[in-house]
Structure 1
Amino acid sequence: MSQETDLNKEVDLRKETTKPDTKDRVWVALLLFGISLARIGNGLFISIHGPTLLTLADNVGTSVGTVSWLFSGRSLGVLAGGIVTGLIMRRLNNMYTFGIASFILGGAITATPWITDLWLLVVVVLFGGIVFGYLDAGMQALILQIWGEKDSRGLISGYHFMIAVGAFLAPLIAQPFLRQDAEDVCPANDDPSQNDNYTSTTSPVDSQTTSTASGVNPIVWAYLICGGFLFVVGFYFLMLGFLETEKKIRAGRSEIIESRGEDSVKTVLLLFALVCVYYFFCVAGETAYNSYIYSVSICSDLRFSVSDGTLINALFWIGFGSGRLAGVVILKYFKPTHVIIVDFIGITVSMIIVCIFGESNAAVTWAITFFYSFFQATVYPGGVSWTSQYTNMSGNYIFIFSAGQALGTMVLLPVGGIIFDVDPFSVMYLILGCSVLNAAVFGLMALEARRIVKKKKKLQASMEKTGQNNEAEMRESGLTAM
């Protein structure tokens, strides 16, 4: 009875010592604000290539299918950045490295529209992908470390919501500079105004060229805005490093910080392989939709105007952001498994509908773009929370998520580009395939997780039994347990 009382006192004391005071809340708010700004910048990076893909293809003098290799470069960079995250975070100050990475990413974005060589473009985007991969995995790992698996669920969803904010803004930033970029690049594109599905919400644009009088392509300004924002983010993180913000937050939350040991690779190898495949299809489908919907809507039989193309691209991110924002609450009160199952039902049904009716009915494509992105939004953060239930993902294993997403976009986005050159709307069939396979892989993940839990329980029971036998032997020998 006294032991139980002491335990209750210890728990109460722990709650009191971990309850943040006003100063702690300020430091936490400053850190979360910085992470939010960085995620908006990350969203600008991953989204700006979508609505400007036709322009980039024109800059390097190639087709959409060929210029789509930049997505492979970006994905390879994300993979490399995710892999080195654990090493960097153990050795260097996180705030300073986040700041430097933001500067580099801003530089990569700023340089992109000036490039006229395809492979130089791929290399620059790859380099941006490396620092994006580090920022993506590093800030996510930091949240898991400081708040732990359970308390971080809402924060993880909010973390992924902020990238949707930046991704939503990118098409709107690019829109004023895109009005004359579609007609000459779409494969076999006839006059869009002759198609029954053609819609336009803007008045015709006068006959300006894609370059100003000085010879500078107007799209440069969109990239300068995105790059400049990331330079501001870089300065902000350097300030947080100077103020030792992370150190002060960790000192105030020492009892909450993730303290689970990492399982051996042998124990979780199959689970990690399945998680990697899960994110392969999850991010490939999501990225293919947001990267190609602008070009598909313009170059397929839908024949949207350039303005409507940017609007439907922005609509994707409105739905995506709404889903991520809803996930902040949903993942806090519902199990990740249930959320993910509902998501897969939603995205699969949405893609079936758009594949059947979308090309012949513009209204269907508009509606499904929102619903698909809404349900797709919580597949990624739900997977992070789901995996973290079964093993510690805040340390060396954090790169697994980045590895899956990088491989998916590296392989399937160029495939999407090839399909686009043959028949633009057929990209939607690729996304449907990703959705179905993603759901199937999650089922395998659930089975493997159940096997791991049973194995751990069996091992724990065996250890407890061994301990009891040792204690009995000590008593029989006249010894007392210390």
Structure 2
Amino acid sequence: MAIANLGPTFPDLAANVNRNVSQISFIFIGRSSGYFGGTLIGGLLVDCMNAKILLGFSMLATAMGLYAIPWCKTATLLTAMMSVIGFSMGVLDTGGNVTALDTWGVEADPHIQALHFSFALGAFMAPILDKMVLGGSAVDLQDHLGSTSDHQPTVDSPVSSEKLHFTVMLSYTVIGTYILLVALFFCLLYWRSGSTRDRRKSSAQQYKIAKYHYALLILLSIFFFWYVGAEVAYGAYIFTYAKTYVGMKESEAAGLNSVFWGSFAACRGLAICLAICSRPVSIIVLSIIFSTVSSLTLTLFNTHPVSLWLGSAVYGASLAALFPSGISWLEQYTTIQGKSATLFVMGAAMGQMCIPAAVGFLQGHYPAVPVLMYTALVSAIMTDVLFPVLYKLATSPSDPNRKGAGDRNLSEALLFNSHLEEEDEEVKEWNEVDFEVIEMNDMWQNSVIETSTNIQGASALELSSRSRDVVPTL
């Protein structure tokens, strides 16, 4: 909701800082830069502090940023506040996925699907909320204040300016209050449960490290780069494409855009039930097949109305479950920690920034070419190529020597967690017992080897002495 709220209120924010829309478009860059930094820092923080309090403080920062947005009277201050909100959202995105995986483990697939369904649901509800709060006042006030695309708005009427500020403040305050309540629940959950259980679970968990761990993370980040980039680009430009390239009416183009996002949100909800009775790899394969077929249809029949309506619906549905299913699928083969999640979330963020920008640039220079449809097809082909490689690497036989490495990783995790909070005697005693068990296992193995060696040596000595006793004397 916080991400999608910017679009409907964008003209109001421009008028609030006495600028036009084109003059403050750089606030999107500020928010994207903050989000990129948040995914990087969030992956490091989720590995070294309690996830509940991290998510609680991140949502608290988001709520405070939303409260401050209507009071930003300069474009610089507005951009800085957008960067802060983007940073906290990046921490939430990385920390939320890792927390879900740590909480439900091998059963996390439907929960991950539900988490990402909530993203689509919030993006769907935000424009509806803005319509209810603003009631079309944005356009009316912009006209009343005399703003155009070529001139700065002039706020001559104190009553109109005050009304504009109130409507913007109300929209961001409603969403900010909701996020603040969720942040307080996270903090309450932390205070009630404490951090002992989290550290104990992290210590007891047997980490799975795939043979090609880092190669899988890099390839998955590239996979998400193309997938998320295509998703955001199609959703951002299908309205303009249908209106300018195909010649649809504005209402029809808006309906086409709604069909894409509606099928996307609906299939993310359906994926929750589907994840209970099927494996992530099955969902990924089906999604890739349907995205390839639909993007190919959209490319070949790029001006046919039936192809556009049906293809957009199928394309949105096929993209819905790819991201959460990809995370759940990789977790089956290798443990995803904060740093690992940072890598593929950053890949998704890069795709979200680069591919839509490239589509806009190419579409402007080559208006007679259906760049958007070609981008969807190329992205589908790239996912078709990357996933078989990912599957081959993930299912490769593990090196037997990696078992010892896994034991060392477990010991290091125990040692690391023992230093998290020295006053927690229960956890320290539990870790010491673990180390004693490991040492006792080593001592037992060594004693068995030594005993076996002594027995063999004694048997050989006894046999030699007997052979000397029975030698005949001539």
Q: Could you tell me the TM-score, scaled by structure 1's length?
A: 0.69
| TM-superposed deviation, 1:222 | 6.5
Distance in 2 of aligned mates of 1:462 and 1:216: 65
Match of 1:214 in 2: 160
Match of 2:175 in 1: 229
Match of 1:408 in 2: 351
Say if 2:4 is the partner of 1:47: yes
Match of 2:362 in 1: 419
| TM-superposed deviation, 1:432 | 2.7
Say if 2:269 is the partner of 1:325: yes
| TM-superposed deviation, 1:164 | 0.8
**Greater mean alpha carbon deviation, residues 336-345 or residues 434-443:** 434-443
Match of 2:205 in 1: 259
* Aligned with residue 475 of structure 1, among 452, 456, 460: 452
Deviation digits for residues 269-288 of structure 1 (CA, Å, limit 9, x no counterpart) = 22211111111111111122
Amino acid at match of 1:235: L
**Greater mean alpha carbon deviation, residues 324-333 or residues 370-379:** 324-333
Distance in 1 of aligned mates of 2:271 and 2:165: 34
Say if 2:91 is the partner of 1:134: yes
| TM-superposed deviation, 1:291 | 2.7
| TM-superposed deviation, 1:406 | 1.1
Distance in 1 of aligned mates of 2:158 and 2:231: 34
Say if 2:307 is the partner of 1:349: no
Distance in 2 of aligned mates of 1:352 and 1:113: 44
Contact map agreement 1:74 1:410 (CA 8 A) in 2: no
Match of 1:281 in 2: 226
Deviation digits for residues 164-190 of structure 1 (CA, Å, limit 9, x no counterpart) = 101112333445547689xx87xxxxx
Say if 2:118 is the partner of 1:172: no
Amino acid at match of 1:241: C
Q: 1:90 to 1:437 in 2, by over 3 A?
A: closer
Amino acid at match of 2:330: T
Distance in 2 of aligned mates of 1:63 and 1:275: 35
Distance in 2 of aligned mates of 1:317 and 1:378: 13
Say if 2:111 is the partner of 1:155: yes
Q: 1:442 to 1:227 in 2, by over 3 A?
A: farther
Q: 1:121 to 1:358 in 2, by over 3 A?
A: farther
Distance in 2 of aligned mates of 1:256 and 1:404: 26
Distance in 1 of aligned mates of 2:261 and 2:165: 21
Q: How does 1:294-373 map to 2 (within 5 A)?
A: 294-305=239-250, 309-361=253-305, 363-373=306-316
Q: 1:388 to 1:239 in 2, by over 3 A?
A: closer
Distance in 2 of aligned mates of 1:357 and 1:223: 45
| TM-superposed deviation, 1:377 | 0.8
Match of 2:31 in 1: 74
Q: 1:212 to 1:258 in 2, by over 3 A?
A: farther
Q: 1:258 to 1:93 in 2, by over 3 A?
A: same
Amino acid at match of 2:226: F
Distance in 2 of aligned mates of 1:55 and 1:417: 24
| TM-superposed deviation, 1:474 | 4.9
Contact map agreement 2:291 2:319 (CA 8 A) in 1: yes
Deviation digits for residues 200-247 of structure 1 (CA, Å, limit 9, x no counterpart) = xxxxxxxxxxx9971479698478425522332223322442354672
Distance in 1 of aligned mates of 2:166 and 2:245: 27
Contact map agreement 2:298 2:311 (CA 8 A) in 1: yes
Q: Could you tell me the TM-score, scaled by structure 2's length?
A: 0.70
Deviation digits for residues 444-482 of structure 1 (CA, Å, limit 9, x no counterpart) = 2122223xx41335755999xxx9999667523339xxx
Contact map agreement 2:34 2:83 (CA 8 A) in 1: yes
Amino acid at match of 1:401: F
Q: 1:279 to 1:254 in 2, by over 3 A?
A: same
| TM-superposed deviation, 1:379 | 0.4
Contact map agreement 2:130 2:171 (CA 8 A) in 1: no
Three-state SS of the structure 2 residue aligned to 1:478 is helix
Q: 1:243 to 1:162 in 2, by over 3 A?
A: closer
Distance in 1 of aligned mates of 2:68 and 2:398: 52
Amino acid at match of 1:382: S
Contact map agreement 1:107 1:227 (CA 8 A) in 2: no
**Greater mean alpha carbon deviation, residues 248-257 or residues 317-326:** 248-257
Amino acid at match of 1:155: H
Three-state SS of the structure 2 residue aligned to 1:391 is coil
Three-state SS of the structure 2 residue aligned to 1:332 is helix
Say if 2:364 is the partner of 1:387: no
Q: 1:115 to 1:296 in 2, by over 3 A?
A: farther
Contact map agreement 1:261 1:392 (CA 8 A) in 2: yes
Q: Which residues of structure 2 form unaligned runs of 5+?
A: 143-147, 150-156, 407-443, 457-474
| TM-superposed deviation, 1:332 | 2.6
Q: 1:303 to 1:417 in 2, by over 3 A?
A: same
Distance in 2 of aligned mates of 1:145 and 1:103: 22
Amino acid at match of 2:102: Q
Distance in 2 of aligned mates of 1:156 and 1:164: 13
Contact map agreement 2:39 2:91 (CA 8 A) in 1: yes
| TM-superposed deviation, 1:439 | 2.4
Three-state SS of the structure 1 residue aligned to 2:399 is helix
Contact map agreement 1:279 1:408 (CA 8 A) in 2: yes
Contact map agreement 1:337 1:386 (CA 8 A) in 2: yes
Deviation digits for residues 341-399 of structure 1 (CA, Å, limit 9, x no counterpart) = 110111122122223334442x4333333221111011001110111111111443221
Contact map agreement 2:212 2:394 (CA 8 A) in 1: no
Say if 2:340 is the partner of 1:397: yes
Distance in 2 of aligned mates of 1:401 and 1:336: 17
Contact map agreement 1:348 1:436 (CA 8 A) in 2: yes
Q: What CA RMSD, in Å, does the superposition of the two structures yield over aligned residues?
A: 4.4
Task: Figure out how many residues of one structure are paired with residues of the other and give that number.
Answer: 403
Amino acid at match of 2:379: C
Q: 1:146 to 1:282 in 2, by over 3 A?
A: same
Q: Percent identity between the aligned chains?
A: 24
Amino acid at match of 1:283: V
Distance in 2 of aligned mates of 1:298 and 1:220: 33
Q: 1:102 to 1:469 in 2, by over 3 A?
A: closer
Q: 1:75 to 1:433 in 2, by over 3 A?
A: farther
Distance in 2 of aligned mates of 1:132 and 1:53: 19
Q: 1:81 to 1:255 in 2, by over 3 A?
A: closer
Match of 1:193 in 2: none
Distance in 2 of aligned mates of 1:131 and 1:470: 54
Contact map agreement 1:76 1:407 (CA 8 A) in 2: no
Q: 1:137 to 1:440 in 2, by over 3 A?
A: same
Distance in 1 of aligned mates of 2:381 and 2:74: 37
Q: 1:134 to 1:439 in 2, by over 3 A?
A: same
